[in-house]
Structure 1
Amino acid sequence: MSVAPPARSAGPDRRRHRVHAGSYVATGERALLRVGAFVRERFHASPVSRPKSSEHDRVTEADGLAEDMIRRELLTAHPASVVVGEERGTHGTGRVRWYVDPIDGTYNFARGIPLFCLSLGVVLDGTVLGGCVYDPIRDEMFTASEGVLRVNGATATRRGQGPPMLLTDLPPCRSWAAGPTDAVTAALDGCDIRRIGSSALALAWVAAGRADLAANANVYAWDVAGGQALVTAAGGGYTGLPDERLRTDRQGGFVAWGPGHGERAQRLADALRPTLATA
């Protein structure tokens, strides 16, 4: 699969910002493609997982090795930047920050379920500029740069027949012992629900029009920064919960939606926000 070149700027007043974003996203795309081949090989070699923060939060040796490889590529190409990874923490200095999840959906990965991906988001001074999500099993690269979503270098085609499809892992395994609130249940009414175990992949599929909404809790910045860029580039929306900050110090949540599903997404976000604010 070839790597698509950055799109040209639409005007001189934003040229410097746009070229900057496109260059970083292209670097991220190349890194995820190369490291994705390694992750794919490890998947077929039956990796072993172990608990990390809890029994339900799993990690494999491949997670850390993949993050090391991604970080080296990013900092070699852009030494004046910062890589914030799920497994290895923060490295580097600069205004641009990369939020990297080397394998989002690790438990699927370890159990032989082909629903996982590599994800990164490019953030400048707290603003998400672009991102990449790579599915190494299907060889699908989702990228967002300069407000344009591409899947394997081409424009995505939305598929919208039927009831609204929601991708969610709610309620999370290690909280909400009493189950979702009545408000959450009401907001979900009428949705066809899928639980896939990867927030980044869920966001990529919403961006590409394969699903209409995605919502999750227990996420950090590296889980969602890349996917947030994809959804907004596709003309959809993204709301962080309980607030819009990309957090690495505590877990949060999100609701994302494709075009035409903003009203339902807002109801779901309003229902989830009080629960996540106290989580």
Structure 2
Amino acid sequence: MGKLSTKLRRDPQTSVRHRINAGRVAVQQQVDFFRRQFGVVASDWKADETRVTFADFAISEKLFAELRGTFPQDDFCSEESSPEDELLALEAEFCWVLDPIDGTNNYFFGVPMCAISLALLRRGEPIYGFVYDLARGKLVEGGPEFGVIDGSTKASAKTSPLDKHSILALHFPMKPAETTALREWLENYRVRSFGSSTLALTYTALGKLDGCLDTRVKVWDIAAAYALIKGAGGDFHWFDEPAFPMTDFKVDQPKLRFAAGSTAFVEAAAKLDIGRKKEKD
């Protein structure tokens, strides 16, 4: 490991590729467990009224243990970190951001719209993402300098203008100002709500959707899929301050609001008046 570590420090690109390969293996190693617990695992409620299962904690612990063994100098951020933990300042060059199960409600009830989401950040910016899509049994991966691979097929975001056949993803519940601003979309486009912001963004990166708009996510929900959107040639718009570059991490953080997808979709979304986010949602 000593010789390898020295080589990685000398060659930044090799350092990135080594982490990509390790991240892929770490996610793949959790797939069998993820599938076995699907629809049968017990659950509880966290303080923020979101569901959590034993599988969330197990995947988080096992996956990060695998990566820490190889990259002990990196930062590690998971949704299942303790809410009481102090604010973590991200000081390492590389950081891993994990949502062990995005779409936990679906997972608990046996609805297969759920995913493992792992992002690799460099100096606070997502450079590569892994999303294991349980519904399709595929690992989607990629980033801004790598493109996007859906299983074994190259993919890209849509480039066509919006029309009556456009399919958009939204996340409910919504605030009154948001539903008012989105009324025209709800009346004219084909709207989906998957219960997983990771998959909504991933399907947008794959060109299955024109765009995705969400106003109630945390950074772990979107870090990996953000890299996929960028790698697939899609656009991203923040309604408030951008989440990246990420300089610190805490579970109890403000919710993020964004729109992502084709240029036409993002341009239309940026014009919406969906209200201002309060300090605490």
TM-score higher than 0.5 here?
A: yes
More displaced stretch, 184-193 vs 162-171: 184-193
**Paired residues of 2:75 and 2:94 also in contact (CA < 8 A):** yes
3-state SS, counterpart of residue 271 of structure 2: helix
TM-score of the superposition, structure 1-length normalised? 0.82
Instruction: Tell me: CA distance 1:241–1:33, structure 2 relative to 1, closer, same or farther (3 Å).
Output: farther
Matched letter for residue 47 of structure 2: S
Counterpart position of 1:20:
15
Show CA shifts across 1:86-117 (max 9, x none).
Answer: 01258997221111000000000001100100
Counterpart position of 2:229:
231
Counterpart position of 1:117:
115
1:48 to 36, 39, 42: 42
Q: Distance in 1 between matches of 2:58 and 2:142?
A: 25
Q: Distance in 1 between matches of 2:92 and 2:139?
A: 27
Q: Distance in 1 between matches of 2:243 and 2:157?
A: 29
Q: Distance in 1 between matches of 2:146 and 2:265?
A: 19
The unaligned stretches of length 5 or more in structure 2 are 1-9
Show CA shifts across 1:137-164 (max 9, x none).
Answer: 4221111132411111320266879622
3-state SS, counterpart of residue 63 of structure 1: helix
Equivalent positions of 1:1-279 (< 5 A) are 16-44=11-39, 46-55=40-49, 57-89=50-82, 94-145=92-143, 146-156=145-155, 163-172=165-174, 176=175, 178=176, 180-186=178-184, 189-246=187-244, 248=250, 249-268=253-272, 271-272=273-274, 274-275=276-277, 279=281
* Corresponding residue pairs, total: 257
3-state SS, counterpart of residue 72 of structure 1: helix
Q: Distance in 1 between matches of 2:12 and 2:278?
A: 34
Show CA shifts across 1:2-29 (max 9, x none).
Answer: xxxxxxxxxxxxx955443333222222
TM-score of the superposition, structure 2-length normalised? 0.81
Counterpart position of 1:6:
none
Instruction: Quote the RMSD (CA, aligned, Å).
Output: 2.7
More displaced stretch, 27-36 vs 247-256: 247-256
3-state SS, counterpart of residue 173 of structure 2: coil
Instruction: Tell me: CA distance 1:277–1:189, structure 2 relative to 1, closer, same or farther (3 Å).
Output: farther
3-state SS, counterpart of residue 92 of structure 2: coil
Instruction: Tell me: CA distance 1:235–1:80, structure 2 relative to 1, closer, same or farther (3 Å).
Output: same
3-state SS, counterpart of residue 134 of structure 1: strand
The unaligned stretches of length 5 or more in structure 1 are 1-14
Q: Distance in 1 between matches of 2:126 and 2:133?
A: 21
Q: Distance in 2 between matches of 1:278 and 1:53?
A: 15
- How far is 1:35 from its partner? 0.7
**Paired residues of 1:252 and 1:276 also in contact (CA < 8 A):** no
Q: Distance in 1 between matches of 2:96 and 2:259?
A: 22
Matched letter for residue 274 of structure 1: R
Q: Distance in 2 between matches of 1:181 and 1:194?
A: 14
Instruction: Tell me: CA distance 1:84–1:43, structure 2 relative to 1, closer, same or farther (3 Å).
Output: same
3-state SS, counterpart of residue 36 of structure 1: helix
**Paired residues of 2:239 and 2:270 also in contact (CA < 8 A):** no
The sequence identity of aligned pairs, in percent, is 26
Show CA shifts across 1:17-59 (max 9, x none).
Answer: 5443333222222111111221111015x1122111344x100
